[in-house]
Amino acid sequence: MFIVYFILNALMQYELVLVERAKETFNSFPSNLYSSLYPTLIGLLFALPKFVQVIKAEGRWNFDWIRIVAVGIPTLFGATVILIYFSPLGTYFPSISILSVGTKFSTICGIVLGYLILSCFQKSNIDP
């Protein structure tokens, strides 16, 4: 538990450094990239205990493609909405500015995406 606290604390401190650097250099891309990746890392940390149990289990590896396509792709879009808004693709999505105003949408999508990435790996006991 202390390791997770240490990792989250270090990540939050790094976010503050990136925000200060963005204010000094007027380049907000590293800060926006980090704000898209940080919730995904938190989701990966949430899924890590279950993933360790899956690794220890016996069986053949499977990957749940349906969950990745049905949930993963939309949450990937939601997690990277800030990057898309400030990229050249943002001109093709004029209504995306509504989603990029608040950070709760992209944060929730990032956490779900991170959790989903590791939880889609499973082991089955049935050999074909």
**Mind listing the pLDDT tens digit for each residue in 61-117?**
999 999 999 999 999 998 888 888 888 887 787 777 666 655 688 889 999 999 999
The identity of residue 42, as a single letter, is I
**Mind listing the pLDDT tens digit for each residue in 6-29?**
888 888 888 889 889 888 888 888
The full set of domain ranges for the chain reads 2-124
pTM of the predicted model, to two decimals? 0.81
Contacts of 53 (CB under 8 A, 6+ apart): none
